[in-house]
Structure 1
Amino acid sequence: MSSELINADFAQRVVIATDTMPWVPSPQAGVERRMLDRIGGEVARATSLVRYAPASSFPAHEHARGEEFLVLGGVFSDEYGDYGEGTYVRNPPRSRHTPRTAPGCTILVKLRQMSPTEAQRVVIDTKNTTWRARDPGGLEQLPLHAASDTGECVVIERLAAGGQPAEMDCPGGEEIFILSGDLRDEHGSYRAGTWIRNPAGFRRGLGSNNGATYWAKRGHLRPMP
């Protein structure tokens, strides 16, 4: 099986306006992808946007190293339930399911990036979860996952218009996907749909002119076997 390397050097900062990327057909009819980073072929450590056409499905399969995804639009379904826009799901290593969708959906998905010891399945409806004030600079946070053994933390954050939180060190790296609004840092300005990967050891400050909501994952950009 051929191997692909896409943004595979995790020591490099990457910024992608994903709405400018083409949708690439997957081997399964009705399923398309925008590949953000990837190490491997069809079985890969990968971060992707995946779009399912209405009434499409994917064969039953196992996630040997786990899967996490956030539903960006539509309804994603499997034999365990239906997950609407804003639902965050973690399927642990060795879990198995058969994805499908009736109306179609788009998800942000990460594959083969979990600790082998993770065992708990997580499903969070972020549309009906309490936000926490995080910073006097106008930042609120919705926690999704935290692992004390690996240092991994996953959240959705909301930054008020004109907000300017304190600068942050990213000793274990950081990914951001902007769900709505706009963000800026010392390197530029970013609109909804932008994916940012800040490497381990990076330091950055964020701000927003009109407010922003974004998914963030931190502490995970370390080599994996």
Structure 2
Amino acid sequence: MTSPKTATVLPQLINYAKQLRDTEDWAPFRPGVTAHWLYKEENNGPAAVLLRYEPGARVALHEHVGYEHLFVLEGDQFDEYGDYPEGCFVINPPGTAHSPGSRGGCVALLIYEKPVRFVETD
């Protein structure tokens, strides 16, 4: 998937994510985590994705090569540094690493400056 050639406007992002919840518009990302890509540039460029975590799912340890912006739209997320309830916004700068998960399940918007580099496998 590449970036759209015109603006993408999602005036009710939380409602958009809720409407997607039970559709087939999600692709496997990691065990227990599915992705709905809003855009994804080629050649290690920026990307935006909605990630849907099943309860108890966790993503393997990875390092941020560029900035990652995370907004928890629904549910909860956590990592080695804290707990992030619905409505929480987190900025992970380049050079940081974590293995995020969700106890009760969540949907989060992630915007990557560059793709992450996985340190561990699932």
Identify the TM-score tier after normalising by the shorter chain: 0.7 to 0.9
The CA deviation at 1:15 is 3.6
Q: Which amino acid in structure 2 is aligned with residue 31 of structure 1?
A: V
* 4+ aligned runs moved over 6 Å, structure 1: none
Q: Normalising to structure 1: TM-score of the pair?
A: 0.43
The answer for the alignment partner of 1:216 in structure 2 is: none
Is 1:102 matched with 2:103? yes
Q: Normalising to structure 2: TM-score of the pair?
A: 0.76
Percent identical residues: 33
CA distance in 1, matches of 2:91, 2:7: 25
1:6–1:35 CA contact under 8 A, matched in 2: no
The answer for the alignment partner of 1:34 in structure 2 is: 36
Give the number of equivalent residue pairs. Answer: 105
CA distance in 1, matches of 2:81, 2:70: 15
Higher relative contact order (CA 8 A, sep 6+): 2
The gaps in structure 1 that reach 5 residues or longer are 114-225
The CA deviation at 1:44 is 4.7
The CA deviation at 1:86 is 0.6
The gaps in structure 2 that reach 5 residues or longer are 11-15, 115-122
Q: Which amino acid in structure 2 is aligned with residue 5 of structure 1?
A: T
SS in 2 for 1:14: coil
RMSD of equivalent CA atoms? 2.0
Larger of the two Rg values belongs to structure? 1
The answer for the alignment partner of 1:14 in structure 2 is: 8
1:71–1:106 CA contact under 8 A, matched in 2: yes
